[in-house]
Amino acid sequence: MTIVNRARTEQELGDHVSAELCETFEAEIAFVLAYDDGRPGLVGAYGLRSEDIERLLGHGLLDASLASPQRVEGVDLLGVGARALVCAPFGAGPTRGTLGVARLYEQSFDEAEAALLEAVAFSVAHALERLRLADERDRLYRDAQERAHAARVIGSIADGVLLIDDAGIVQLWNPAAEAITGLAKDVVLGRPAEEAIPGWSVIGSSLAVAHDPASSRGRATTVPVELGERELWLSIRGVGFAEGTVYAFQDLTEERRLEELKADFIATVSHELRTPLASVHGAAKTLQREDVVLGGEVSRQLLALITEQSDRLSTMVDDILFASRVDSPELQIATERVDVETVAAEVIAATRAHAPERVTIELVAPPSPPVAADRDKLRQVLTNLVANAVKYSPAGGRIAVELATHGRHLAIVVRDEGLGIATSDQRLIFEKFYRADANMNRGVSGSGLGLYISRELIHRMGGTISVDSQFGEGSVFVVRLPLADAD
Ligand code: ADP
399 CB near ligand 1 (under 6 Å): no
Q: Best substitution site from 421, 430, 471 to test ligand 1's pocket, by max atoms within 8 Å of Cβ?
A: 421
- Span 214-244, pLDDT tens digits: 665 557 888 888 887 788 999 998 888 888 8
Q: How far is the CA of 436 from the centre of ligand 1 (A)?
A: 7
Instruction: Name every residue whose Cβ is closer than 8 Å to that of residue 274 and which is 6 or more positions away in sequence.
Output: none
Q: How many CB atoms lie within 10 A of CB 215?
A: 12
Instruction: Name every residue whose Cβ is closer than 8 Å to that of residue 413 and which is 6 or more positions away in sequence.
Output: 400, 401, 402, 403, 404, 476, 477, 478
436 CB near ligand 1 (under 6 Å): yes
Asked if 234 contacts 223 with a C-beta cutoff of 8 angstroms, the reply is yes
Q: How far apart are CA 245 and CA 465, in angstroms?
A: 47
Confidence at residue 204, expressed as pLDDT on a 0 to 100 scale: 84
- Whether the model pTM is above 0.85: no
Q: Best substitution site from 384, 385, 388 to test ligand 1's pocket, by max atoms within 8 Å of Cβ?
A: 388
Confidence at residue 378, expressed as pLDDT on a 0 to 100 scale: 97
For 17, the enclosing helix (H) or strand (E) is helix 10-25
456 CB near ligand 1 (under 6 Å): no
Divide the 487 residues of the chain into consecutive groups of 10 and give the mean pLDDT of each group: 68 92 94 82 89 80 78 87 91 81 92 91 88 87 87 84 93 92 92 91 83 65 84 90 89 86 78 85 90 84 91 86 84 94 96 92 95 96 96 94 96 96 90 76 78 95 96 95 87
Asked if 129 contacts 91 with a C-beta cutoff of 8 angstroms, the reply is yes
Q: How far is the CA of 337 from the centre of ligand 1 (A)?
A: 29
Q: How many residues does the chain have?
A: 487
- Span 93-142, pLDDT tens digits: 767 889 999 999 989 999 999 999 999 998 888 888 888 888 888 898 99
Residue ranges in 340-449 assigned as alpha helix (H): 340-352, 375-391, 423-426, 438-441
474 CB near ligand 1 (under 6 Å): no
Confidence at residue 242, expressed as pLDDT on a 0 to 100 scale: 83
Asked if 466 contacts 477 with a C-beta cutoff of 8 angstroms, the reply is yes
**End-to-end CA, the chain:** 99
Confidence at residue 261, expressed as pLDDT on a 0 to 100 scale: 77
Of all residues in the chain, the percent with pLDDT exceeding 70 is: 96
Q: What angle do CA 327, 469, 231 make, to 5 degrees?
A: 55
429 CB near ligand 1 (under 6 Å): yes
Torsion on CA atoms 431, 435, 440, 441, rounded to nearest 10: 130
Q: How far apart are CA 215 and CA 152, in angstroms?
A: 26
Q: How far apart are CA 59 and CA 54, in angstroms?
A: 9
